[in-house]
Amino acid sequence: MALRRLLARHLGYEFLDDARIPVQVTATDLVTGRGLVIRHGPVSTAVRASAAVPGVLPPVAHEGRTLVDGAIGELDLLVRTATQGVSDIYLLPAGYPCAGARPTSALGTALTALSLLLHRQLAAEVRGYTAPARLHLIPPLCPLAVSPADFSQTSTLMTRAHESASHWLATTPDVDDPRTLRLHAHRTPAPLSDPRAPHALSAGAHTQEGLI
């Protein structure tokens, strides 16, 4: 599998216990719907399970369970993380708050719907978070005009996300606004090549409309 080869080429370690910094990976038991945290074992198995979006990547068998994407399961990860004795939590949302391109296939429709559901779930967890650990919410990409089913833009989106997160961490790591997770549309979405796009969140209040 391509993902397995990608992990083997770039991670530099084979088992979660070998990581320099403790790594915990979330997944979902597809049978029970319970979320779980993988702390030990092959890192490739854990990451493939966590990335197994239903309908896109196959589920992963692990210790007698059938595992899929960790965001689907019943697991309040923010509260769970706060109980680990940490003082700060940095949350990088991977959802799509911007209204993107209209899906044109059954798979595109399913992925767009799943993305909306998971994003709403995350937004609800952020709103309800009251633990003492400080929550730092790294703003998701915005504007964004690409469908969750359009994997042809992966490289461009990764570059934008790296630039956007780096800029935020360097300039405003103590400014957190849960409103950045609100679903919204733009009158004129910026193209992917727009050099202003990585930092467009700083002007988000002037470009957003139809906030939900």
pLDDT along the chain (212 residues), means of 10: 80 91 93 93 93 90 93 86 91 81 83 86 89 90 78 86 91 75 73 44 35 30
Tell whether 93 and 138 lie within a shared domain.
Answer: yes
Strand order in the sheet with 60-62: 35-38, 25-29, 65-69, 60-62
* pTM for the full predicted model: 0.77
Domain boundary among the residues 75, 99, 125 is at 75
148: in domain: yes
Residue 1 confidence (pLDDT): 65
Residue 207 confidence (pLDDT): 33
The answer to whether residues 33 and 51 touch, using CB atoms and an 8 Å cutoff, is no
DSSP state of 33: -
Tell whether 178 and 104 lie within a shared domain.
Answer: yes
- Buried-exposed string 103-127: b where 16+ CB fall within 10 A, e elsewhere: beeeebebbbebbbebbeebbeebe
| Residue 32 domain boundaries | 1-75
Tell whether 46 and 93 lie within a shared domain.
Answer: no
196: in domain: no
